[in-house]
Amino acid sequence: MSIHLEEFPGSIKPGSIKIGLDINRISRNIFLFCLAAAISFVLLDLFVNYYELSQYRIIHQFCNITREDSFASWYCSTQTFMAALTLWLLFFLLKHTSASRLRVFGWFLIASLFSYIAIDDGIELHERLGSVFKIAFQPKPYLGLPLSWPSKLLYHFPSYPWQILFAPFFGVMGLFAFIFLWREFRLKSIKLLLVLAMACFVIAVGVDFIEGLDKYHKWNIHTMIRDRYDLQAYTVRHFSKSMEEFLEMLGVTLFWTAFIQYFKLLPEHSICFLIKTKASFIKG
3-state secondary structure of 256: helix
**Domain count for the chain:** 1
3-class DSSP state of 186: coil
What percent of the chain is predicted at pLDDT more than 90?
A: 65
pLDDT at 71: 94
CA distances to 132, 160, 161, 204 from 135, rounded to whole Å, are: 5, 13, 10, 26
| Residue 69 pLDDT | 86
pLDDT (tens digit per residue) in 188-210: 999 999 999 999 999 999 999 99
Cα dihedral 268→273→275→280 (10° resolution): 110
Note the pLDDT of residue 216: 86
Q: What are phi and psi of 194, to 5 degrees?
A: -65, -45
Report the C-alpha gap between 245 and 269 in whole angstroms.
36
Q: How confident is the model over 10-36, as pLDDT tens digits?
A: 455 555 555 557 889 999 999 999 999
- Binning pLDDT at 50, 70 and 90, where does residue 3 land? very low
Q: Identify the pLDDT of residue 20.
A: 59
Mean pLDDT of the chain: 86
What is the pLDDT, as a whole number, of residue 197? 98
Chain segment 42-85, per-residue pLDDT in tens = 999 999 999 999 889 999 999 999 998 899 999 999 999 999 99
pLDDT tens string 251-283? 999 999 999 999 988 877 666 655 444 444 334
Closest CA to 234 of 55, 69, 66: 66
Range of the domain at 93: 5-11+18-139+148-283
